[in-house]
Copies of this chain bind each other. A is one copy, B any other.
């Protein structure tokens, strides 16, 4: 983790410098609260590294880094309401600590603050284009969340639809983070395209791995109950694949379970047996690996630099993570 300490420290110190007004407290206190949580800060770190990779001092990407971190936290506040989640990073979610209305409103406000951060980009940066990249990315995040919600009651989700969903929910903002870092460095169109592809592949790899970790990770370290996604009936890569492979009897049983969420532990064990039977854990490992390889390929289109090495280390760190 040493290789990202420098970036993470810069992100934290810049987050601490944000001076949201004290009042109205209903609007700004939840914004401060969610940002003070201990996130991994992957997105702002990617923005800084993306800038460095394109040859400019990483401080130039601070507005971009803050914008993506703020918008990420906006999506967390609203997603937690939609998912009725009680806890986020060990703390009560905003809508539990306060209430639903406060969470909706402070999330909206945090989105505005994210957009205002981009105003701080150097004057010579093409602000309009940077904003377009940002907005298109956030719209994809919204689309991904909509698909995720629609999948809750669908038993015929295809792998292609699943990839489109995580492409929006996870990959879009990772890709935007890198691209905005590139924009801050006045990257060429070619470099921006490489950054985009790098982010997309990294995001898909990361999310498929996340799906995997629900069944393979040490629950102590991962911070989530093993099989939690199964119990909630989430349409993860593993579930979507299994629904596609299983025979009519298994399918009838499984769709029955998925319509009566949450699944009890015996049902979760039976689902895990189906995952074994149809080798979907291996498929997921293989697909995640392939996307990490694609990400490395895109990264290798850039010339050597410390930032490239740091990004390679970041990929290795994410691949081997247990939380």
Question: Residues of A at under 8 Å CB distance from B?
Answer: 24-27, 78, 81-82, 100-102, 104-105, 107-109, 111-113, 115-116, 119, 127-128, 131-132, 135-136, 138-139, 142-143, 145-147, 149-150
Contact = CB atoms under 8 A, between A and B. Distances in A.
A147 B112 contact: no
B149 A105 contact: yes
A115 B115 CA distance: 10
- In the complex, the count of this chain's copies comes to 2
Given A131-B131, A150-B24, A150-B26, A142 B101 contact: no
A83 to B, nearest CB: 8
Given A82-B104, A111-B111, A115-B115, 14 more contacts: A25-B146, A25-B150, A27-B142, A27-B143, A82-B101, A104-B104, A105-B145, A105-B146, A108-B111, A109-B146, A112-B139, A116-B135, A127-B127, A127-B131
Nearest to A140: B112
- Interface of A (DSSP majority class): helix
A143 to B, nearest CB: 6
A119 B130 CA distance: 11
A142 B108 contact: yes
Contacts of A113: 139
Contacts of A81: 100-101, 104
A109 B136 CA distance: 11
Contacts of A78: 104-105, 108
Nearest to A142: B109
Nearest to A82: B101
Contacts of A138: 112
B109 A139 contact: yes
Contacts of A136: 116
A302 to B, nearest CB: 29
A76 to B, nearest CB: 13
A141 to B, nearest CB: 9
A119 B105 contact: no
